[in-house]
Structure 1
Amino acid sequence: MDHLNAHARAIDNFVRVANIIANLDVILLEAKNLSLTAKNARVVALRAGDSAFGFKPITNFIDEFSDQTIRITKSIAELSNRLFAMALAVVRCSEFRDHLLRAEAMTDKSVLGKLKFSANEQLLEKTRELESAVFELAGFFEDIQKHMRSAEYIAVTSRVEASNAGEFCDSLQSVSDFIAGAAQKIKIAVGDNLKEISQLRGAMR
């Protein structure tokens, strides 16, 4: 029964990796929207002139951390594609080992001994590769979390600066609201992925 449980865990881990990849789309989309918002805010701040002087460095900062988030997300996407292949390899190795174990019950055990040993070694190797990649992935998501904490702080600061922008106050206020909203969506997606990663790491111990 142990090998059946191991195979079920391998499939569950594969599904978790697929969920992580799906959440990346949300993170990348919101990061791109933040970058676009920074560019639009820069135009409004230029039009507002001195009344939005304090908003200009904020738009630069928004642009910087949105670009960093996009870069990190693209790195995550590349790693996740490898992770997907690794998780699939673990499932296939697990399936192969299960076939051998079933065959072993119906034939001379010595015939399948070497194959079974090889299958166990391969499964262990692929699981270790997956575990290492998952650890690296967690680091990327923790970096994005830090950027989003900065984004939330910037959203608060930008609201204060927007209130001094006269007739452009509403336009810049909407930028502040969008930053806060996008940061929240990214934080939720990252939080979901970190939960999936925690479960993945727990399942592989």
Structure 2
Amino acid sequence: MDYLRAHARAIDNFVRVANIIANLDIILLEAKNLSLTAKNARVVALRAGDSAFGFKPITNFIDEFSDQTIRITKSIAELSNKLFAMALAVVRASEFQAHLQRTSELLDHPQLLHLRRGANEELLQSARALESAVFELAGFFEDIQKHMRSAEYIAVTSRVEASNAGEFCDSLQSVSDFIAGAAKKIKQAVSENLKEISQLRGAMR
């Protein structure tokens, strides 16, 4: 039955939203780790002096994109909380709609038609609000992807600079490796979320 399929779809979408929120923890943790790494790298670069001269501006870049990622992730977290409530509202509206549909199949009453129209309108409004929030969320994740592409480029550049840092080479190389690893983890989490968002948007069409 259509109303049962709609209810099942609403529950699937609710689970997808929960998955997106869970992946946010990974992104925020790695972004905070990147920020801490930038601070540690700056200390090492200062100790290394002229031999790590080219590494100093790199730490500024790390700081910048990690801070931007943290800000974006916090904005996403706020939006995701709303998204969670919206997805729950869609589930509840679809449950009510399904309940009225089953009741109307057993009982013919004029009041039921009025209630079903109201339930359909509520479900439609909830679904539209969820779709709008999902569209906004996709834009945030695309911004983070851009930052991580920059992070990967910086990781490559920082390896070259680290190789010229003499006795501090290994310490700065480990910074480069960490940047590359963190960027990979964040990109993976973002990719999974964009996949969930794509499925959400497809299900809501």
Structure-1 separation of matches of 2:136 and 2:173: 37
The one-letter code sitting in structure 2 at the alignment partner of 1:90 is V
Name the SS for the 2:31 alignment partner: helix
1:33-56 deviation digits (Å, cap 9, x = unpaired): 000000000000000000000000
Which residue in the other structure is 1:130 paired with? 130
Which residue in the other structure is 2:104 paired with? 104
- Equivalent runs, 1:17-166 vs 2, <5 Å: 17-166=17-166
Q: CA RMSD in A?
A: 0.5
Shift of the alpha carbon at 1:185? 0.1
Shift of the alpha carbon at 1:110? 1.5
Shift of the alpha carbon at 1:105? 1.4
Shift of the alpha carbon at 1:111? 2.2
Structure-1 separation of matches of 2:163 and 2:3: 63
Which residue in the other structure is 2:173 paired with? 173
The one-letter code sitting in structure 1 at the alignment partner of 2:122 is Q
Name the SS for the 2:154 alignment partner: helix
Name the SS for the 1:105 alignment partner: helix
Structure-1 separation of matches of 2:136 and 2:27: 18
The one-letter code sitting in structure 2 at the alignment partner of 1:105 is E
Shift of the alpha carbon at 1:108? 2.0
Which residue in the other structure is 2:184 paired with? 184
Structure-1 separation of matches of 2:16 and 2:149: 25
Unaligned runs of 5+ in 1: none
Name the SS for the 2:106 alignment partner: coil
Structure-1 separation of matches of 2:27 and 2:90: 27
Structure-1 separation of matches of 2:101 and 2:150: 53
Name the SS for the 1:195 alignment partner: helix
TM-score (normalised: structure 2)? 0.99
Unaligned runs of 5+ in 2: none
TM-score (normalised: structure 1)? 0.99
Structure 1: which 4+ aligned runs deviate by more than 6 Å? none
Structure-1 separation of matches of 2:37 and 2:163: 18
The one-letter code sitting in structure 2 at the alignment partner of 1:99 is H
1:144-165 deviation digits (Å, cap 9, x = unpaired): 0000000000000000000000
Count the aligned residue pairs.
205
Name the SS for the 1:164 alignment partner: coil
Q: Identity of paired residues, percent?
A: 85
The one-letter code sitting in structure 1 at the alignment partner of 2:100 is L
Structure-1 separation of matches of 2:125 and 2:104: 22
Shift of the alpha carbon at 1:109? 3.6
